[in-house]
Amino acid sequence: MRVSGEIVGRALVELGKKVKPGVTTQELDKFAYDFFKRHDCTPAFLGYHGYPSTICTSLNAEVVHGIPGKRVLEEGDIVGVDIGAFYKGYCGDSARTFAVGNVCSEVRNLLDVTFEALNRGIEKCKVGNRISDIGHSVQEYVESQGYSVVKDYVGHGIGQAMHEEPQVPNYGKPHQGPRIVEGMCLALEPMVNLGTDEVRVLEDGWTVVTKDGKFSAHFEDTIAILSSGPENLTRI
């Protein structure tokens, strides 16, 4: 899990450097595919329930699961880049939302709040807490900043499969659900909207967008629960 996490984390850092006006999302996808091959990894998303690409690229009002294509990144866009890979049978999963050039201050703040929400969730990944302590902390923070958290998609356990039990919602009451125990690995992935929390899926069957067309951000890390506390496997 450490090795797959580190490779995924490094790929995401490299992808972040490539996010610039003029780049297409399929160029990012090609880079990720080649990066994983060079590092003896199998892309986790490619072919997953028929998903056609190595990574997901979700622009602006797209929340998650955007499919890379010919779309050219433009100054002022934001792009969520979500990637996952298996190394020797173990999965790492991580996402960042990058600003393309300069973005307006409201959108910059959305990115900062979503990253901070992820960090607050990670702080709750401690033996003795319960799964809903994570989502409670995420939701409380996001709503205190005037934004909404997506409820229709959740984080997840991760290991020899990308999606394992338990589900890890980004909302809820504290002290509910399964206990967090040593050795668990969890993928935390808050999706935060500037406006409504309501989302819908486009006709391509994948791309999730906000119903009001306002921007959305997504950050994800794979976390191992140790007796000493959370270890972030995908953050470089």
Scanning residues 153 to 182, which ones bind ligand MF3 (CB under 6 A)? 156
56 binds, among Co ion, ligand MF3, none (CB under 5 to 8 A by kind): ligand MF3
Scanning residues 204 to 223, which ones bind ligand MF3 (CB under 6 A)? 220
Quick check: 187 binds Co ion (CB under 5 A)?
Answer: yes
Q: Which range touches ligand MF3 (CB under 6 A), out of 46-54, 120-128, 137-145, 170-178? A: 46-54
Binders of Co ion: how many residues, by CB under 5 A? Answer: 2
Quick check: 233 binds Co ion (CB under 5 A)?
Answer: no
Three-state secondary-structure class, residue 130:
strand
Quick check: 61 binds Co ion (CB under 5 A)?
Answer: no
Q: Which range touches Co ion (CB under 5 A), out of 114-122, 172-180, 181-189, 224-232? A: 181-189
Work out the number of other CB atoms within 10 angstroms of the CB of residue 70.
8
Distance, in Å, from the CA atom of 78 to the CA atom of 99, rounded to the nearest integer, reads 5
Contact 217, 191 (CB under 8 A): yes
Q: Which residues of 162-185 are buried (b: 16+ CB within 10 A; e: fewer)?
A: bbbebebbbbbeeeebeebeeebb
Quick check: 45 binds ligand MF3 (CB under 6 A)?
Answer: yes
Build a one-symbol-per-residue string for 79-108: x at contacts with ligand MF3 by CB under 6 A, - elsewhere: ---x-x--------x---------------
Which position among 7, 8, 11, 56 is part of the footprint of ligand MF3 (CB under 6 A)?
56
Quick check: 115 binds ligand MF3 (CB under 6 A)?
Answer: no
Give Cβ neighbours of residue 164 (< 8 Å, ≥ 6 apart).
156, 157, 158
- Scanning 19-165, the segments in alpha helix (DSSP H) are 25-38, 105-123, 131-144
Beta strands in the chain (DSSP E): 42-43, 56-59, 62-64, 78-87, 90-99, 148-149, 155-157, 164-168, 185-188, 191-193, 199-201, 208-210, 216-218, 221-226, 229-232
Q: Quote the distance between the C-alpha of residue 79 and its chain's center.
A: 12
Q: Which is nearer to Co ion, 68 or 92 (CB)?
A: 92
97: β partners: 80
Build a one-symbol-per-residue string for 6-45: x at contacts with Co ion by CB under 5 A, - elsewhere: ----------------------------------------
Q: Which range touches ligand MF3 (CB under 6 A), out of 13-21, 47-55, 73-81, 225-233? A: 47-55
Q: Which residues bind ligand MF3 (CB under 6 A)?
A: 45, 48-49, 51, 56, 65, 82, 84, 93, 156, 187, 189, 220
Q: Which residues bind Co ion (CB under 5 A)?
A: 93, 187
